[in-house]
Amino acid sequence: MIEAFSLRTAHLFQDAMASQARLRHKVFVADRGLDHPHFEGMEYDEFDTPAAVYLVWRDEARVVRGVARLLRTDRPYMLQTYWPYLVETGALPSSASVCEVTRVCVDRSVNPQVRKVIFPELLCGINEYFKRHGIVAMTGVTRPHLLEGFCKTGVTWLGRTQPIEGEMEGAFYVPTDHIRPVRHCALYKLPEHVLMPPEALPQGIAA
């Protein structure tokens, strides 16, 4: 099950907010050695605002093992702020109905049989969240093979790949209907719905 929360609703999800920050520290700071802001074993940046939405995959102990952060592109976001030169075709996305997907990571210490399902399930959760909230597409920056290995159609690259934090990465745009990794869903027998339904939250609280 994928859970979605923001700063406003994080208190409903135990320590998931801190747990996702710990996973980000482990992946980006400890493992990759990137110079990201961090404090007491938790990674953060200026985009961890009340507008950010976090989708997480948690294990049976409620520890976050996979995360994806969503940022609306009608306010400052990472591609626009740090790497606008990656967009060589058209204008930078700028819309409440287009979200940047950032800080995507999966805990590599998880059992490989479990780990292989986490990212496809996160993509399914993103697809469901977008449909639930009227989001038409995702954008972001990644290595081409990581995205195209899951999204087989609908991926548009907005420019050439260039060095980003030690990797050759490019800016992408994917319509919502192309985000769900259909082949992996069939391979791993993922259910039609993986995102926690609104009715599972206390009445009156939206994810």
| CA–CA distances in Å: residue 21 to residues 53, 151, 168 | 13, 26, 25
Percent pLDDT > 90 in the chain is: 95
Q: What is the pLDDT of residues 134-170, one digit of tens each?
A: 999 999 999 999 999 999 999 999 999 999 999 999 9
Alpha helices in the chain (DSSP H): 16-24, 78-82, 112-133, 144-148, 182-188
Alpha helices in 40-189 (DSSP H): 78-82, 112-133, 144-148, 182-188
Name residue, tokens 């800080």.
Answer: 103
Q: Is 163 helix (H, G, I), strand (E, B) or coil?
A: strand
Q: What is the CA radius of gyration of the chain?
A: 16
- In the structure encoding, which two tokens stand for residue 76, read together? 């400052």
- Which residue, among 15, 86, 79, 16, has the nearest Cα to 47 in the 3D structure? 79
Q: Is the pLDDT of residue 203 over 90?
A: no
User: pTM for the full model?
Assistant: 0.94
Q: Which pLDDT score, from 0 to 100, does residue 197 have? A: 86
